[in-house]
Amino acid sequence: MASERKKTGTRPATLMKRTEILRAATDVFGSRGYVNGTLQDIADQVGMTHAGILHHFGSKEQLLLDVLVYRDQTDVEHLEGKHIPDGIDLFRHLVRTALANSKRAGIVQAFTVLSGESVTDSHPAQQFFIERYQILRGQLVDAFALVCAERGITDPGPIAHGSAAILAVMDGLQVQWLLAPAEVDLAEATGFAIDAIVAAVLNPGPSPLA
């Protein structure tokens, strides 16, 4: 019983330390990338040893994956049920996410750097990002399909293209904003782009570029 009480008593402290490490790793991986950012860099930020980091996460690869999960959790932690909404509310949620991202450059930087690195051969986060984009595209397709069904729109082509385009625009604008925050309004530009894409899917017609 004594050992059980000790374990229970230390668990909140352990969770706090893990969160502290995740935040430090987000900063290090965001500024230096996964390859150049070292466990010692992270350990130095939290006043631990290299071995201490491994005690909590086991390996650098596992820490990276946990950082990515931590990043995604921050997007939904304030939502009811901690999951994204459906239908038109999903698009509104994405605009609000862009506004939130404009106030947390470190997390955005980490995501941008790691997602870019993930296209390289054998990168430990590659499968994570492959699956992440598959899931997000699917969620957007479902949201579009729900709204389109209300309007009698059944063509799957624009829905698929619009879903991929929204993710591309959001990620691309984050790069521009990180490089020139005074010139790019992340929230406003994201809202403008998502509005335009949703309008194009819901109001199909001849392309102005044709």
Residue whose C-alpha is closest to residue 125's, from 200, 44, 37: 37
CB 156 within 8 Å of CB 56? no
pLDDT per residue, tens digit, the chain (210 aa), is: 433 434 444 578 888 999 999 999 988 988 888 888 899 999 999 999 999 999 999 999 999 889 888 887 877 666 665 667 889 999 999 999 999 999 888 889 989 999 999 999 999 999 999 999 999 999 999 999 999 998 888 889 999 999 999 999 999 999 999 999 999 999 999 999 999 999 999 988 777 777
Block residue for tokens 């729109």: 153
Residue ranges of E strands in 149-200: none
Determine the pLDDT at residue 205: 74
Determine the pLDDT at residue 77: 67
Whole-structure pTM value: 0.82
Dihedral of CA atoms 172, 94, 182, 37 in degrees, nearest 10, equals: -60
